[in-house]
Structure 1
Amino acid sequence: MAQDLTGTPTLPSLGEMQHWTWVLGRAQQMMLEQGFGPPAATALPAIPGLTDPATLARAQSFWSDSLTLWQRFLDPATAPPAEKSSDQARDKRFKDPAWENPVFDWIRQSYFLISDHMLRGIDALDGVDAKQKERMRFAARGFLEAMSPSNFPATNPVVLEKTLETGGENLLKGLQNMLADIAKGQLTHTDPNAFEVGRNLAMTPGKVVHRTPLYELIQYTPTTETVLAVPLVIFPPWINRFYILDLTPEKSFIRWVVEQGVTVFMVSWKSADASLAHVQWDDYVAAQIEAVDVVRAALDVPAVHTIGYCVAGTTLAATLAVLSAKGEAEKVKSATFLTAQVDFAQAGELLNFIDDEQLAAMASLTPDGFLDGRYMALTFNMLRGRDLIWNYVTNNYLLGQDYVPFDLLHWNGDTTNLPAKWHLSYLTDLYRDNLLATPGALSVGGTSIDLTKVATPAYIQAGKEDHIAPPESVWQMMRHFAGPLKFVLAGSGHIAGVINPPAQQKYQYWLNPEPVDTLAEFVAGAHETKGSWWPDWMDWLRARDATTVPVDAPRRPGKGMLAAIADAPGEYVKAR
């Protein structure tokens, strides 16, 4: 199909149609001559993966689909209509009407065709174990996402239109954005000047009341006249800043919990430098136990509620096992696990990064005893490369668009460094060898860890679309702990599934009060509730102990035995 000088598609001439009809017919004839038709009676022995019937059938299907695509491009009136899968129909990369132009629609459909056949070819491989096949699929998806026609100016009609409209200014601005990212060694997702910790993020009032070389302990100012007698200690993941739980005030989990009448303490981990090169997992478990004891002593209470988010939830499980082994389980009244894992057999796509070769390469990146947080940020971005990498390549490098302010993406790019010794052993012992799931296979400070001995009441939250801690993996907690246990499946993923304020009326969650053995059985019998799971959790927490006390001096930061060291959000969260 040709175009006139205005770019409007024009129908091919009769001579052109006759020529391309001959080309299609000749291609089909060549395929038959080379063995893509019915097998000959005297065919040579099949070579697996090359000339076996299944491989030939896939090759014939690919070429047949390719020829159909050409026919649709050249003579759409006589070609069979295009069929889009649901995934293709939802693909935001090609939503713009400019992709409906016949030339660019052909480019788009060709990309879908190649992608589909490449992934189906991997699925059809024989003699490849499931783990290796999944790694191949992951690598293929990454390659296909990188090679999308939406990522290149010449094959993206939206970029071409923008370039003509602005006289190329979009490409110059995009180049400026790209060079800035190269200079800082990290992809920018949002306006870097739109947010600042302490100015419009992490604004819940409080004081740092305890500090060690590894963490700061923040106590938040109460807003009610009475509070639950049992305080809450929150352990956030140290692979990110704690303020994911204290974003803008309308999204802050911490602010909401304080407003429910709970005395809240937050651990703020220090971003690693050379001074923390010696730190290992035992130190994080010891820090959690210390924080629990500090709060118990400061408020003169026998026990605390706890929350562990992601990797800190994994460590909280080990902490509970250590306390149980020492006869001190009563120090923790309850434990809430947010998208945390203890059994890593089904840990999802992160397992694609865990093998001996990649672990050795990672060790070479830490000559000063700590891993630069930008490497971890890149790893997590690669898990959602289409949304967190290539979407921004197109919008900010090719189209030269302004960055949109987004608090969650600001947090996502606010990386923290990790102690190298701990990080490597964590990946090896937990992700690769799955030792935490085996009673007695790991120990902390000389105390053997057995999760089956943990009888602390637990609220276990998973995200339905979580790609970092898949719900199937989080569910395994239900098998390892002694209970009593409550499982909730929240809508969305690893972050949005957790940070879902009730006022926003977004997403949903599922509960199933019946005892079941598998996640599939849980889902089959679950009932859905619209909105946030936070109120359900709050009801569960009160059910553990509804006793309230007046807000006296120890409940006010800096007024009791713990002196105020600094205003919240503290110093460690600001260290770069």
Structure 2
Amino acid sequence: MSDPAPTPLPTKAALPAPRPQPRLPAAPPRPASHSYDTLDRATRAALARMTGGVSPFALLESWTDWAVHLSRAPGRQMALAEHAAENAVKLGAYTLRALTEEGHPPAPFAPKAYDHRFTHPSWQKLPYALWQQSFLATQDWWDMATGRIRGLRPDNADRARFIARQTLDLFSPANFPWMNPQIIEETIRQDGRNIADGAEHYFEDLMHILTQEHQSQPEGYRVGEDLAATPGKVVMRNEICELIQYAPETETVKSEPVLIVPAWIMKYYILDLSPHNSMVRYLVEQGFTVFMLSWRNPGAEMADLGLDDYRRMGVMAALDAISAIVPGQKVHANGYCLGGTLLSIAAATMARDGDDRLASVTLMAAQTDFAEAGELLLFTDESQVAFIEDLMWDQGYLDRPQMTRTFATMRAEDLIYSRAVQRYFLGRPDMPSDLGVWNNDTTRMPARMHAEYLRGLFLENRLTAGRYAVDGRVIALKDIKAPMFVVGTENDHIAPWRSVYKAKLFTDGDFRFCLVKGGHNGGIVSEPGHPRKHYRLGHREPGAFYMDPDTWLADHDPIPGSWWIAWADWLAEQSSGEGPPPAMGADGHAPICDAPGDYVHQV
């Protein structure tokens, strides 16, 4: 059967005439949309200045999400009512025993391990013990109330718990002079002198907050004299960093030099503190040629510098300089915190491009995967990142107080309220220490670079998701073939050790993981001879099966002492031999000035 003949299309004459359309008045010209965007960003930036960079919209969303899901969970409501009744019974029984029995009956509620507000012995006496236990019972109930609920986003549950904790901490009995026995006893003992001294400290701090003047370093803690005092020379300088080469202290040195990439959020000398706890000095004494990057403290003029600028003009420029000073030798690269994240990006890029100059890679408290990035995730969602981006867009950088407040609120019990009680009510000045001086010597961060870090790594986790591109091409951590030594710290709330451990999941080469006692800073600065220190150390052969972190922890017993010793021994194993120390600098990289250089003094 033949196909039916096609229906002829209507001719132009056969088409119906279009109906006349009424003429609309010409629309007025619209202003450029970026004008509205600018207004929006300026408004958010102004609000961010008042909130310290914290998005109130993110907090409100989290609280609402928690409250709505709790309202739809009658079982959870009944469990909370039952838990409240149990706590009330425990509190009542404790009160009865405290009133009728001699001594101090065992308390049903205990503060968290990091909460030092109730350590004074008088908190065990009446009526202070009842106030303390009432507060801890309330805290215990809110911990349960803000737990995970089916359907509730986990990050919103964690943020709701954070909000509840911050609110409760504000009303702790330890914060009020008439409820804190330590303040009462000290005021009686000093006839009120502590209150006068505390008022003086308060106004000093208030003026510092208002003026943002840089506080001078206390006597005995001068940078370049007491801290960051290991001898050396600045052998390279550009608009982002200086490179320090440290003078040798042994007749022969390991053939491969060591490059340390510190975090740019703080000054580099966390790794070159006092002579007794300087990692740099320790390495030099073990016969290593050590180089250190010292980052510049950026201002608004560096707002457009991005994360890749720090890789190229920081890590790669340093490697080029070291290759000229120590020609023909590979380099042991070591990155700390954000510097370790940057180093991992640089190492993966070098591996992709066939650059084999790395003899080994050490990452100290540095995350490569951010899915379990700890309490910093409380401050990282789309609303929060946009808020910080607008704040940095307005001022060109993220400033020191905005970062300091974020870290302090994570441990508000100890870093805010306990310090306030000691300083303002007990009248005690802050006692200087090398770590404390360094901790107050913060830096700024360029707007573009920090926005790329927050959005690309923290928020979108591109590096381990296979979506992080350098020079237009994606990089992968599994391309890194150099042996790796990765360090996590047990009590790290900035880079939790299980998150740091995940570097093992995304690499398949020779890998050692070291878990150290201490926190983000104190665990890394763990010099030999430090009392009560230990570490765990495991080795994964290339191609071995993955072991989850909890199984790894159970399988590796603590080793007393400093992890520096094990690390230095491992570096020596990766080295090819020894020879005479290289010259200080080289053609094109002649010494510019003495260590610690100029950038470390920028405020």
TM-score by length of 1: 0.86
CA distance in 2, matches of 1:91, 1:310: 25
- Indicate if the aligned counterparts of 2:255 and 2:329 stay in contact, CA closer than 8 A: no
1:4-403 equivalences in 2 (<5 Å): 48=73, 53-72=78-97, 75-77=99-101, 81-85=105-109, 87=111, 91-123=115-147, 125-185=149-209, 192-286=218-312, 287-328=314-355, 330-366=356-392, 367-403=394-430
Find the counterpart in structure 2 of residue 23 from structure 1.
none
For 2:170, the aligned partner's letter is A
After superposition, what is the alpha-carbon deviation per residue over 1:484-529, rounded to whole angstroms, capped at 9, x for unaligned?
1111111111111111111324410112346552111211111321
Cα shift at 1:66: 4.6
CA distance in 2, matches of 1:376, 1:510: 31
DSSP 3-state at the match of 1:93? coil
In structure 2, the CA distance between the partners of 1:277 and 1:150, relative to structure 1 (3 Å rule), is same
- Indicate if the aligned counterparts of 2:279 and 2:525 stay in contact, CA closer than 8 A: yes
CA distance in 2, matches of 1:139, 1:244: 32
Query: In the alignment, does 2:464 pair up with 1:437?
Result: yes
Find the counterpart in structure 1 of residue 518 from structure 2.
492
CA distance in 2, matches of 1:158, 1:485: 50
Percent identity between the two aligned chains: 35
In structure 2, the CA distance between the partners of 1:109 and 1:246, relative to structure 1 (3 Å rule), is same
After superposition, what is the alpha-carbon deviation per residue over 1:433-489, rounded to whole angstroms, capped at 9, x for unaligned?
1111112x1212323221121212111111111111111101110011231111111
CA distance in 2, matches of 1:88, 1:492: 16
CA distance in 2, matches of 1:567, 1:219: 10
- Indicate if the aligned counterparts of 1:220 and 1:265 stay in contact, CA closer than 8 A: yes
CA distance in 2, matches of 1:76, 1:229: 74
Q: Which consecutive residues of structure 1, in runs of 5 or more, have no partner in the other structure?
A: 1-45
Cα shift at 1:276: 1.0
DSSP 3-state at the match of 1:503? coil
Cα shift at 1:101: 2.6
Find the counterpart in structure 2 of residue 478 from structure 1.
504
CA distance in 2, matches of 1:76, 1:187: 55
After superposition, what is the alpha-carbon deviation per residue over 1:266-304, rounded to whole angstroms, capped at 9, x for unaligned?
000001102211111111111211211111112212421
CA distance in 2, matches of 1:256, 1:472: 28
For 1:149, the aligned partner's letter is P
Find the counterpart in structure 1 of residue 447 from structure 2.
420
CA distance in 2, matches of 1:368, 1:124: 38
1:539 to 556, 569, 591: 569
Find the counterpart in structure 2 of residue 519 from structure 1.
549
In structure 2, the CA distance between the partners of 1:71 and 1:418, relative to structure 1 (3 Å rule), is same
Cα shift at 1:157: 1.1
- Indicate if the aligned counterparts of 1:325 and 1:447 stay in contact, CA closer than 8 A: no
After superposition, what is the alpha-carbon deviation per residue over 1:381-438, rounded to whole angstroms, capped at 9, x for unaligned?
2222222222210111110112212110111111100001111221111111111111
2:533 to 504, 507, 516: 507
CA distance in 2, matches of 1:130, 1:54: 20
Find the counterpart in structure 2 of residue 42 from structure 1.
none
Query: In the alignment, does 2:554 pair up with 1:529?
Result: no
CA distance in 2, matches of 1:61, 1:470: 33
DSSP 3-state at the match of 2:454? helix
DSSP 3-state at the match of 1:315? helix
- Indicate if the aligned counterparts of 2:201 and 2:429 stay in contact, CA closer than 8 A: no
DSSP 3-state at the match of 2:266? coil
DSSP 3-state at the match of 1:293? helix
Segment drifting more, 356-365 vs 253-262: 356-365
In structure 2, the CA distance between the partners of 1:381 and 1:347, relative to structure 1 (3 Å rule), is same
In structure 2, the CA distance between the partners of 1:564 and 1:351, relative to structure 1 (3 Å rule), is same
CA distance in 2, matches of 1:421, 1:89: 38
CA distance in 1, matches of 2:217, 2:598: 23
- Indicate if the aligned counterparts of 1:68 and 1:79 stay in contact, CA closer than 8 A: no
In structure 2, the CA distance between the partners of 1:388 and 1:188, relative to structure 1 (3 Å rule), is farther
TM-score by length of 2: 0.82
Cα shift at 1:563: 1.4
Q: Which consecutive residues of structure 2, in runs of 5 or more, have no partner in the other structure?
A: 1-70
For 2:562, the aligned partner's letter is S
For 2:78, the aligned partner's letter is P
Query: In the alignment, does 2:602 pair up with 1:571?
Result: no
In structure 2, the CA distance between the partners of 1:118 and 1:191, relative to structure 1 (3 Å rule), is farther
Cα shift at 1:140: 2.1
- Indicate if the aligned counterparts of 2:116 and 2:414 stay in contact, CA closer than 8 A: no
Segment drifting more, 287-296 vs 80-89: 80-89
In structure 2, the CA distance between the partners of 1:107 and 1:334, relative to structure 1 (3 Å rule), is same
Segment drifting more, 262-271 vs 372-381: 372-381
CA distance in 2, matches of 1:311, 1:89: 27
1:550 to 580, 583, 599: 580
For 1:61, the aligned partner's letter is E
